[in-house]
Amino acid sequence: MSDPLNLKCPGSDPQSTAMPALFSCLACGADIEVWSDESGGRCPSCDAYFKRMQLSDGSPLTPDEKLQVLIQYARKSGAGDAVILSIADIVIDDGLADRCREPRCENYGLSKSCPPHVPGPAALRNQLAHFHQAIFFKIDVPSEVLYSTERREVFQLLHEIASGIEDRAADIGFAGARAYAGGSCKKIFCHEHSQCRVISENGKCRHPRHARPSMSGFGINVAALFKTAGWTMSGTMQNPDATTTRTANVCGLVLIH
Ligand code: SF4
């Protein structure tokens, strides 16, 4: 039972003079209600951190703050982790792209997002000169998931995060961001169709919002990206005792101007 000495009339508390005001999130544009006695917080829509002063005077996010918004977005969307890399950290290896053709990957030629329908390593090298940084992210899953019926859902999430980062980057001023993700969009999104519509009919992609090109076809050295990010690649034992679980990773890369 409450101590009667601690009971008091709620009306006897000093009245707060704080007032709410509505601002637009500098990262995503969503409305944020901020009370005058709050110094900052997180946007309920995109989770970007904001300072009240910054919203009040409309000062734009710095490039570093924008990149942090994208990292937060990736993590909130389901990425196990995400890092900012320099474009110089991206290693393009022609030999990796060649492996799509020989020995032939089962996805070779199935969609416009895989060789021989992508411009390949040479074109990507030229493009990288126009970008400054990249968001590299991964999803960690138990290895057996990638050999189960859930595999497609994992890769769908991967492409959704990659395309979502690309969209969010454009929203906050990084126009022209370009996303890549692992896996074949034919298997992930168009598995119920006999053919990729872009290739077979010269038509429009059925899933332009989410399907993104495969990293392999451009020779992107994923192992080098993992090393630079300080992450351990899939297949590593998490736990060397009897309860060991093998973890597998799938990953995506978004180039930022
Ligand atoms: S139509 Fe389907 S297979 Fe072709 S590029 Fe789009 S998602 Fe990929």
pLDDT band at 236 (very low <50, low <70, confident <90, very high): very low
Residue 205 Cβ < 6 Å to ligand 1: yes
pLDDT digits (tens, 9 = 90+) for 98-140: 999 999 999 999 999 999 999 999 999 999 999 999 999 999 9
**Bigger pLDDT: 236 vs 129:** 129
Strand pairing class (20-24; 133-142): unpaired
CA atoms within 13 A on the CB side of 36: 5
- Contacting residues for 26 by C-beta, under 8 A, at least 6 apart: 48, 50, 54, 55, 58, 60, 61, 172
**Structure confidence at residue 35 (pLDDT):** 86
Q: Once rounded to an integer, what is the mean pLDDT over residues 57-85?
A: 89
List the residue whose alpha carbon is closest to atom 1 of ligand 1.
205
Beta bridge partners of 237: 246
Q: How far is the CA of 113 from the centre of ligand 1 (A)?
A: 7
d(CA 214, CA 226): 17
Locate the ligand 1 atom nearest the alpha carbon of residue 190 and give its number. Answer: 2
pLDDT digits (tens, 9 = 90+) for 204-233: 999 999 999 999 999 999 999 999 999 998
Which of 190, 192, 209 is the best mutation target for the ligand 1 pocket, counting ligand atoms within 8 Å of the beta carbon and taking the most?
A: 190
Arithmetic mean of pLDDT over the chain: 88
Q: How far is the CA of 212 from the centre of ligand 1 (A)?
A: 9
List the residue whose alpha carbon is closest to atom 6 of ligand 1.
205
**Bigger pLDDT: 245 vs 255:** 255
Residue 185 Cβ < 6 Å to ligand 1: yes
pLDDT band at 242 (very low <50, low <70, confident <90, very high): very low
Q: Tell me the pTM.
A: 0.80
**pLDDT tops 70 at residue 9:** no
Q: CA angle 184-212-248, nearest 5°?
A: 55
d(CA 107, CA 189): 13
Q: Would you say 212 and 123 are in contact if contact means Cβ atoms under 8 Å apart?
A: no
Token code pair at residue 122: 């040479």
Q: Which of 150, 166, 159 is closest to 183 using CA atoms?
A: 159
Q: How far is the CA of 229 from the centre of ligand 1 (A)?
A: 30
Residue 207 Cβ < 6 Å to ligand 1: yes
**Structure confidence at residue 238 (pLDDT):** 47
**Structure confidence at residue 154 (pLDDT):** 96
Locate the ligand 1 atom nearest the alpha carbon of residue 197 and give its number. Answer: 1
Peptide bond connecting 103 to the previous residue in cis, omega within 30 degrees of 0:
yes
pLDDT digits (tens, 9 = 90+) for 152-203: 999 999 999 999 999 989 888 898 999 999 999 999 999 999 999 999 999 9
Q: Which of 140, 134, 127, 147 is closest to 86 using CA atoms?
A: 134
In this structure, what are the phi and psi dihedrals at residue 65, rounded to the nearest 5 degrees? -65, -40
**Structure confidence at residue 18 (pLDDT):** 81
Q: How far is the CA of 185 from the centre of ligand 1 (A)?
A: 6
Strand pairing class (81-86; 247-256): unpaired
Residue 113 Cβ < 6 Å to ligand 1: yes
Which of 207, 209, 210 is the best mutation target for the ligand 1 pocket, counting ligand atoms within 8 Å of the beta carbon and taking the most?
A: 207
Q: Hey, where are the domains in the chain?
A: 7-57, 63-256
Q: How far is the CA of 190 from the centre of ligand 1 (A)?
A: 6
